[in-house]
Amino acid sequence: MKLWAGRFSKEADKKTNDFNSSIATDSRMYAQDIDGSIAHVTMLAAKGIIPQDDAAAIAAELVQIKADIADGDLLIDPNAEDIHTFIEQTLTERIGDAGKRLHTGRSRNDQVALDVRLYLRDECDQTLDLIKQLIKALSEKGEEYPDAIMPGYTHLQRAQPITFKAHLAAYIEMLTRDLGRVEDAKKRMNSSPLGSGALAGTTYPIDRAMTASLLGFDSYTKSTLDGVADRDFCIELASALSICMVHLSRLCEEIILWCSWEFKFVELDDAFSTGSSIMPQKKNPDIAELVRGKSGRVIGDLMTLLTVMKGLPLAYNKDMQEDKDAIFDAFDTVKICLVTLVPMIETMKAIPENMRKAAAGGFINATDCADYLVSKGLPFRDAYKATGELVALCIREGKTLETLTIDEYKSVCELFDNGVYEAINLENCVRRRGM
Ligand code: ARG
């Protein structure tokens, strides 16, 4: 029986019912829905809006329903319209008329806006914790190889010498900003919409501050229309998560490159690699590739949310039911990626010899060579040109800056002396840059 059976003379068409239902998506918010209802009913009784006995019976049964769902003793009806309806109907089936008082002064519109916020608050905490774990794994990985020198790249061309640790530290910075973005969005989201009603609040003397505080919110939303119509918090979080996925995707792209025989800077543990069904020699970085691929999903979720919201008149519209699939998928995806990436990074082995070998080619100390001439008084542009000539000489002769003789150096610029070998030593180059 539908909530609105009084107004309607026919049951909904089966396919319409399935199309309209959100139970498959929102049943995961059952605990938050119940917590919200308990706070609401506690407030209703405190304000004398419903009898104390009824409120106590409702709250006690809601606690029981929550336990029964958690234990698998109460199965959520897949044909129910949504989780809010299912819980309210179960409550009334179990305790009779008292249950019918629960929805006094409330609408599913403020109820769903509340449930999603409560649910996402927990999702934020789990995600923040996982990002912190990845930061720790990257930082420890860098510490494991404090002296590993590798080429730093621009345009994927060897550019200047850096340490492996400094390379990983860049990802730590990105992830630290991700933490800040999620924390910031979470703070803004932490305002209770409960009491907004369908859109215009209620005429009952409710206490919005009380429900907000019972549920751990910092405040409650001022405009009741905005309280039910706002999904900025979903968009902000999806945006923060998309940026985070872009970071994870870039990290994974590098790991994929580094695993190739062309680089072989790292080796992933067998537990985090896969083989080929035909090529016996293969060891593929599938996990890293999947994370890179899944970044597309999360960015897609952000686009879904922006597009769903952009043309909606105030206040609640059913379009907004689509918010949950998108934002839940975004969190699920980021979390599963992080859960998989953390141990993959923890068990990843670096191969410093290969990094050093790559760093020895590509003239990545050419800037240091030019800077050496500058220290001898030559203007940088002239030093740059002289070093360019040296690089061309090396390429012609099949040499490196390290193997050029001092006479060869002097043939290009008289200012060179034996100090140049010290200046272009890769360890010195890195040390001088504080890496
Ligand atoms: N399932 C709905 C949603 O997710 C709950 C709110 C329904 N409100 C309504 N007026 N039909 O948005």
Q: Distance from the CA of 322 to the center of ligand 1, in angstroms?
A: 10
1 found inside a domain: no
Count up the domains in the chain and report the number.
3
69 found inside a domain: yes
Q: Please tell me the pTM assigned to this model.
A: 0.94
Domain final position from 76, 104, 132: 104
Rounded-to-integer distance, Cα 300 and Cα 245, Å: 12
9 found inside a domain: no
pLDDT at 5: 76
pLDDT at 277: 82
Q: Are residues 117 and 91 in the same domain?
A: no
Tell me the best of 7, 22, 111 to mutate to test the pocket of ligand 1, counting ligand atoms within 8 Å of each CB and taking the most.
22
Q: Which residues of the chain have pLDDT under 50?
A: none
Quote the domain boundaries for residue 420: 363-433
CATH number at residue 86: 1.10.275.10
Other CB atoms within 10 Å distance of the CB of residue 185: 22
Rounded-to-integer distance, Cα 51 and Cα 366, Å: 82
DSSP classification of residue 56: H
Rounded-to-integer distance, Cα 413 and Cα 406, Å: 10
Is 40 assigned a catalytic role?
Answer: no
Q: Are residues 333 and 390 in the same domain?
A: no
Q: Are residues 253 and 388 in the same domain?
A: no
Ligand 1: nearest atom to the Cα of 84: 5
Q: Are residues 267 and 407 in the same domain?
A: no
pLDDT at 276: 79
pLDDT at 1: 67
Ligand 1: nearest atom to the Cα of 82: 1
CATH number at residue 252: 1.20.200.10
pLDDT at 280: 80
8 found inside a domain: no
Q: Are residues 154 and 191 in the same domain?
A: yes
Domain final position from 308, 326, 357: 357
Other CB atoms within 10 Å distance of the CB of residue 337: 25
Residues sharing a CB contact under 8 Å with residue 97, sequence separation 6 or more, in sequence order: none
Q: Are residues 383 and 343 in the same domain?
A: no
pLDDT at 392: 97
Other CB atoms within 10 Å distance of the CB of residue 121: 17
Place of tokens 């200046």: 423
Domain final position from 357, 392, 422: 357
Q: Distance from the CA of 321 to the center of ligand 1, in angstroms?
A: 6
Active-site position among 219, 260, 276, 375: 276
User: What region does 273 belong to: left with phi over 0, alpha with psi -120 to 50, or beta?
Assistant: beta
